[in-house]
A and B are shown apart, each in its own frame.
Chain A
Amino acid sequence: MSSQAVKPPAGLLSRRRHPERPIWEEEPTLVGRLGKPVVLALVFLVIAFPLYVVVVTSLSSTEAVTRAGGLVVVPRELTLAAYVQLLSGGVVTRALVISTAITIVGTAFSLLITVLAAYGLSRPGSLWHRPLLFVVLLTFLFGPGIIPSYLLVNSLGLIDSYASLILPTAISAFNLIVMRAFFMGIPAELIDSARIDGAGEFAVLTRIVMPLSKAVVAVVGLFYAVGYWNAFFNAMLYLNDNTKWPLQLVLRTYIVQAQVLPSGAGGVTATPALGLAPAPSLAIKMAIVVLAVIPVLLVYPFIQKHFTKGVIIGAVKG
């Protein structure tokens, strides 16, 4: 859109120092200059304040939490007790290792099959690509349901194996479509010229398409990794051996600690043996939030540069 197409009103024009420029290239007014940081600071606070409260509460003693009647805003008597309780005992640390391994292996596997499937489906002449695409799109509309999924996993003999956490969710239709759209945007001339040089499909994929697709692979990989990291439901369903639980499922056991049961329980409590469980502290719950979020916060900055690029390219190019 050219600057001539949008003519500001005459009154406004006369007050502007560079009327020939479009309005968004004009120097900001005093109000704009002062307003921008204020708005940005507000946005920052809206995002950072809850995080701050979570961290401070996780570092607070039970007294401080009680005095505050819940979440702690003003830090007093900071202690690492909640983290010590979580990380001592070996259960959480073991789960941390399991979760990390599942995230790495799962993401790698998911990326591999997503790239292969997306590439195949992005080539118009490939075998059965239309019916296959239709089947993929169908999964957007219909989920399999918990019981059929369980029956399938059970009959495949995957109950109690780590593969049950990866295989059923190995490919996401959304990620596949994003990646396919990206691949379709790669100029056909590039691929044709590679073919002329003697490259087969596999060489085209690995030597032409993949180097051009780093951004979308990074983004889709991030989607998968966050998905694997946060997943707990499948582990709850498919893993009977509690020592194989991933981190999120173990952390959840702290969240539901000593909760009052549905009143249908007729007075039976979650802790029938009293004096048993240490009091469920809000500090522990918040420490769990911090523990669960840290890895994602650590990974994000490294992938962020690809993020907008990958999504936008996948969405509009072509």
Chain B
Amino acid sequence: MIAPAGGSTSRRTFLSLLGAGAAVATGGTALTACSNDGGGGSSTSGRAETEDKLTALLPAYLAYEPVKPDIPGSNGASPGFTKYPTELKRALPDKPVASGKEVSAMTPLWGPLPPGLGNNTYFDANNERIGAPVRFNVVNGNEYGDKLGPVLAAGNVPELLCVPGWEIAGQTRFGQAVDKLFEDLTPYLAGDKASAYPMLANLPTRAWAYGVWNSQLKAVPFPGVGLPWALYYRKDLFAKLGAEPPKNADEILALGKELTDAKANRWAFGSIVDEMARAFRAPAGWRKDSSGKLVNKIETPEFEEAVAFTRKLFQSGYVHPTVVGNASADQKPLFEGGQILVYQDGTGSWAEALQRQLPINPSFEMQAVMPFAHDGGEAIVWGGDPASIFTFVKKGLGEERVKELLGVLNYTAAPFGTEEYQLAAYGVEGKHYTKESSGAPKLTALGSKEVANTYIFLGGRPSAHTQSQYPGYVEAMSAWENESCKRMEKNLFEGIRVEAPSKLAGLNQPFDDKLQDILRGRRPVSELKAAVQAWRSGGGDEGRDFYAKVLSDNGR
């Protein structure tokens, strides 16, 4: 599967693209971003790597399909599996770590801490297949960046280090750290050499391109489709109230009126401002105007219209008061409890909500709204990077050890339908999980205690929709994702991993604070222009130059 490279997507990503600081970009064929510390006083230079110039570095793609998908993914969408395979394929015949020497690894974890090595049979079962104990240092995902900085600064890295892409912008001189601390994987994986690691060779080439730093293949990518969120609605409650999902902005307004009933403790919307900006066809990040000048999303008239429209929803009282009061309120319980009927959330939250709600409310049904444009015309969809998490191998361990460690990553890259994936994701059948009638794994009490997303965050595997235990979910998700990927906007920076200067991350909060105030009527809508101006003078214009240089260096 080849994932598409979309534009920068999220508020966080998009704002991290608001560049200031040193003007740096790819340098011709060498691709190495050259730092220019005098450029803007930033301690960290930005950089960019271009996929089309990297072919010689990247592993040759070797497809591996243990199970044939029922719904193929097109345009980079994930394939869908509408049933669980009755038989799992063994992907790797041998144990990857022949020496048996303990492997150290650091990964983020969003979940309860499992019992440690020696007290955890799930770890034991995986380590048995790997051939050596993997000692995880898991860190709360939300504080991962706080730990990453000191660990990189001290050079105190484990053998395998997982680095989420969204933490990179906050790290000082990450490019230098990569050079100094991590092994160049090019000699092990470039071209046909990757065939020694068939699961790694099965990762999309587009994702691999994002694992290149300083003209060297440095990291194993965790591929993603790149869709940052979906607009969800409660189909069960819509049916009860006789409503239909919206197809344009007018219908959004009409839905607001129809669905909101404060006395019944029901509001039409939660947070939907990004979705509205998309519907009004604002770009995800940058676009070129007719003169060829780069224009940021927030400078476009479409964004302005979207803000004015969303503000109308707030002022008409169609947005849940909790969301009005707190822009970062947890909306899941409100949506699942029926107090909010439409809101945007990450693509993973769909299946998670079904997992939570179906056992206690069998009639619970949510769906993603198909992408629509404000005027009912052709909709665009924002896309993201084809890889968002990276795993690095510590430098200087010697060839044999690096091969063993790549073997571990080869193990964790095994896709859905393999014994290795099942073991890494759920543990041992009959012990850590049992199979439901649908074939879906269900954790036992021991599984709930011991199984944690540890091996899963090492490396990555091609994404897939597999949760067929929720009736209709895989079909609906695949339909939505195929439609969204088809409509993904053409990204100026497609195939270029742009690493914005670290100073830029700080530009987002002041603008977002003002934006949230404008939406809620605490500031007049006319202040949007002033906020954009403040953003430009605070570093936005410098960011424009940075990105313009990235484009011109790549001949675009």
Chain A interface (Cβ within 8 Å of chain B)?
A: 62-63, 65-70, 85, 88-91, 146-147, 149-151, 154, 159, 233, 236-237, 240-243, 245, 249-250, 252-254, 256-279, 282
Chain B residues, CB < 8 A from A85: 448
Given known A91-B113, A258-B110, A265-B224, contact A68–B355 (CB-CB < 8 A): no
CB-CB under 8 A for A70 and B333, given A267-B225, A274-B467: yes
**Cross-chain contact B146 with A273 (CB below 8 angstroms):** no
Residues on the B chain within 8 Å of A150, using CB: 150-151, 153-154
Please, which residues of chain A bring their CB within 8 A of the CB of B338? 69
The count of residues in chain B whose C-beta lies closer than 8 Å to any C-beta of chain A is 86
Q: How far is the CA of A147 from the CA of B147 in the complex (A)?
A: 9
Asked if residues A262 and B10 are in contact (CB atoms below 8 Å), the reply is: yes
A275 touches B453 (CB 8 A): no
Indicate whether A266 sits within 8 Å of B384 (C-beta atoms), given known contacts A237-B147, A275-B440. Answer: yes
Which residues of the partner chain B approach A91 to less than 8 Å between Cβ atoms? Answer: 112-115
Question: Which residues of B are in contact with A by a Cβ distance under 8 Å?
Answer: 9-13, 16, 106, 109-116, 119, 136-143, 146-147, 149-151, 153-154, 156, 158, 164-166, 222, 224-229, 265, 330, 333-334, 336-339, 345-349, 351-352, 355-357, 360-361, 384-389, 424-426, 440-443, 448-449, 451, 453, 456-457, 463, 466-467, 469
Chain A residue at minimum C-beta to C-beta distance from B150: A150
A69 touches B346 (CB 8 A): no
**A260 lies within 8 A of B345 (CB):** yes
Instruction: Judge whether A276 and B9 touch: CB under 8 Å.
Output: no
Instruction: Give 5 A-B pairs besides A250-B112, A264-B166, A267-B384 with Cβ atoms closer than 8 angstroms.
Output: A245-B113, A260-B345, A260-B348, A265-B224, A278-B448
Question: With the chains together, A237 CA to B150 CA distance in Å?
Answer: 8
Cross-chain contact of B12 among A70, A243, A249, A263 (Cβ < 8 A):
A263
A282 touches B333 (CB 8 A): yes
| Chain B residues with CB below 8 A from A62, complex form | 356, 360
B3 nearest CB neighbor, chain A only: A266
User: CB distance A268 to B389 under 8 Å?
Assistant: yes
Could you say which of A89, A236, A266 contacts B224, with CB atoms under 8 Å apart?
A266
State the CA gap A63–B149 with chains docked (Å).
41
Which residues from A are CB-within-8-Å of B13? 262-264
Chain A residue, CB-CB nearest to B424: A273
| Pick from A66, A149, A264: contact of B333, CB under 8 Å | A66
Contact A242 B360 (CB under 8 A): no
> A279's contact among B136, B147, B339, B356, by CB below 8 Å, is which?
B356
Q: Return the contact of A274 from the options B346, B351, B384, B386 (Cβ within 8 A).
A: B351
Q: How distant is the Cα of A90 from the Cα of B139 in the complex, in angstroms?
A: 19
With A70-B333, A275-B443 already in contact, the answer to whether A263 and B384 are too (CB < 8 A) is yes
Chain A nearest Cβ from B551, distance in angstroms? 21
Q: Do B149 and A89 touch across chains, with their CB atoms under 8 A apart? A: no
B448, A256: Cβ atoms under 8 Å? no
CB-CB nearest in chain A for B347: A267
Give complex CA distance A266, B383 in Å. Answer: 8
Known pairs A242-B136, A275-B355; A267 contacts B346 (CB<8 A): yes
CB closest chain-A residue, reference B467:
A274
Closest 9 CB pairs of A and B: A269-B348, A263-B10, A150-B150, A270-B110, A69-B337, A273-B425, A266-B224, A263-B228, A264-B166
A282 to chain B: which residues have CB within 8 Å? 333
In the complex, what residues of A have CB within 8 A of residue B146's CB?
146, 233, 236-237
> With A68-B337, A259-B142 in contact, is A274–B356 under 8 Å at CB?
no
A256 contacts which of B142, B156, B355, B442 (Cβ < 8 Å)?
Answer: B142
Is A276 touching B141 in the complex (CB atoms < 8 A)?
A: no
A242 near B137: Cβ-Cβ < 8 Å: yes
Q: When chains A and B are docked, how far (Å) is the Cα of A63 from the Cα of B170?
A: 40
| Complex CA distance for A67 and B339, rounded to whole angstroms | 10
Residues of B within 8 A of A236 (CB): 139-140, 143, 146-147
- Minimum Cβ distance to chain B for residue A57 (Å): 11
Contact of B141 among A242, A261, A264, A275 (CB under 8 A): A261
- With both chains docked as a complex, state the minimum distance between the C-beta of B110 and any C-beta of chain A, in angstroms: 3
Report yes or no: A253 in contact with B228, Cβ–Cβ below 8 A: no
User: Which residue in A67, A233, A272, A274 is a CB contact (below 8 Å) of B355?
Assistant: A274
Q: Which residue on B lies nearest to A272, using beta carbons?
A: B456
Contact (Cβ within 8 A) A277 B111: yes
Min Cβ gap B290→A in Å is: 30
- Nearest CB on A from B480, distance (A): 12
**Nearest-Cβ distance from residue B203 to partner chain A, whole angstroms:** 14
Closest chain B residue, CB of each to CB of A284: B112
User: Which residues of A are found within 8 Å of B141, using beta-carbon distances?
Assistant: 256, 259, 261, 270
- A254 and B112 in contact, given A237-B146, A267-B227 (Cβ under 8 angstroms): yes
Name, among A67, A253, A259, A265, the residue most crowded by chain B CB atoms within 10 Å (CB to CB).
A265
- Selected from B138, B154, B345, the residue in CB contact (under 8 A) with A242 is B138
Complex Cα gap A151–B451 (Å)? 33
**Sample (12) of A-B pairs whose CB atoms are under 8 Å apart:** A70-B337, A242-B138, A249-B140, A257-B110, A258-B110, A258-B111, A262-B13, A263-B228, A274-B467, A275-B355, A275-B426, A277-B453
Q: Which residues of B contact A68 (CB under 8 A)?
A: 337
- Tell me the bound Cα distance from A189 to B16 in angstroms: 65
Contact of A273 among B11, B142, B453 (CB under 8 A): B453
Please measure, in the bound complex, the distance between the C-alpha atom of A263 and the C-alpha atom of B273, giving whole angstroms: 14
Smallest beta-carbon distance A79→chain B, Å: 13
CA distance A253 to B136 in the complex (A): 15
Contact B142 A276, beta carbon cutoff 8 Å: no
Bound Cα distance A65, B333 (Å): 8
CA distance A273 to B422 in the complex (A): 9
B113–A266 CB distance below 8 A: no
A154 and B150 CA atoms in complex are apart in Å by 10
Task: Please report the C-alpha to C-alpha distance between residue A66 and residue B361 in the assembled complex, in whole angstroms.
Answer: 10
- Nearest CB on A from B387, distance (A): 8
- Given the interface pairs A147-B150, A264-B10, A275-B355, the reply to whether A154 lies near B113 with Cβ below 8 Å is no
Cα separation A42 to B517 with both chains bound (whole Å): 32
Minimum CB–CB distance for B505 against chain A, Å: 11
Contacts of A258 in B (CB 8 A): 110-111, 352
A266 in complex: contacting residue of B9, B109, B441, B449, CB < 8 Å: B9
Residues of chain A with a CB closer than 8 A to B442's CB: 275
Nearest CB in chain A to that of B166: its residue: A264
Which A residues are CB-close (under 8 A) to B116?
A: 241-243
Whether the Cβ atoms of A146 and B112 lie closer than 8 Å is: no
Which of chain A's residues have a CB closer than 8 A to the CB of B158?
240
